[in-house]
Amino acid sequence: MRIKTGLTAAFLALSLTTAASAENHMDKALEDAKDAREAHMELYSFNMSLLGGMAKGALPYDADSAGKAADSLAALTMMDQTRYWIEGSDEMSIDDTRAKPEIWENMADFQKKETDLIAAAKAMQGAASQSLEALQGAIGPLGGACGACHKVYRAPKT
């Protein structure tokens, strides 16, 4: 009887430890996904701010810098982001994110918006170093592609 009780207690302790370990691993995966996508978005913003500043005349146009920023944006859009978008890493499930649960409820639309961003970034890549006028012509569609996703799938700052 004592051995059976001891084995039962050991099995229960092992089960609880395994469950806690799996939960901690999932929490880390969700946090890592959130952190990675936030870093990715910061890089988008960093490059967009240069291009947008030039387009508005707030920064002097420099073809070389504009081309490099556009190349960086295009490269960012081509990076595999699938590990960033783990279900359960939304604003309702974890802290410090603005990703709305609607992303996972309408993944096909979310992915379509990603495809639109890729096309707009490629267009900017072709335009940015040509001339200020070409950059200005490409900035609206690029900003629109970013905004189209943010309006639907990003919660406002609180």
Select from 30, 18, 118, 131 the least CA-distant residue to 73.
118
Q: Is 70 exposed, middle or buried (0-12, 13-18, 19+ CB in 10 A)?
A: buried
108 assigned to some structural domain = yes
pTM: 0.82
Using an 8 Å Cβ cutoff, are 54 and 62 in contact? Answer: yes
pLDDT at 66: 98
> Is the predicted pLDDT of residue 137 greater than 90, yes or no?
yes
The dihedral sign for the CA sequence 120, 121, 123, 124: positive
The distance from CA 65 to its chain's CA centroid, rounded to whole angstroms, is: 24
Residues 6+ apart with CB under 8 A from 117: 77, 142, 145, 146, 149
19 assigned to some structural domain = no
pLDDT band at 77 (very low <50, low <70, confident <90, very high): very high
State pLDDT tens for residues 8-55: 655 555 555 444 444 555 699 999 999 999 999 999 999 999 999 999
pLDDT at 59: 98
The dihedral sign for the CA sequence 47, 49, 55, 60: negative
Mean pLDDT of the chain: 90
> Is the predicted pLDDT of residue 155 greater than 90, yes or no?
yes
131 assigned to some structural domain = yes
Residues 6+ apart with CB under 8 A from 85: 33, 37, 99, 103, 104, 110
142 assigned to some structural domain = yes
20 assigned to some structural domain = no
15 assigned to some structural domain = no
3 assigned to some structural domain = no
Name the domain count of the chain.
Answer: 1
Lowest-pLDDT range of 3-12, 27-36, 106-115, 122-131: 3-12
Domain of residue 56, CATH code? 1.20.120.10
**Domain assignment of residue 113, given as a range:** 29-153
> Is the predicted pLDDT of residue 65 greater than 70, yes or no?
yes
In angstroms, the CA 84 to CA 94 distance is 14
State pLDDT tens for residues 81-104: 999 999 999 999 999 999 999 999
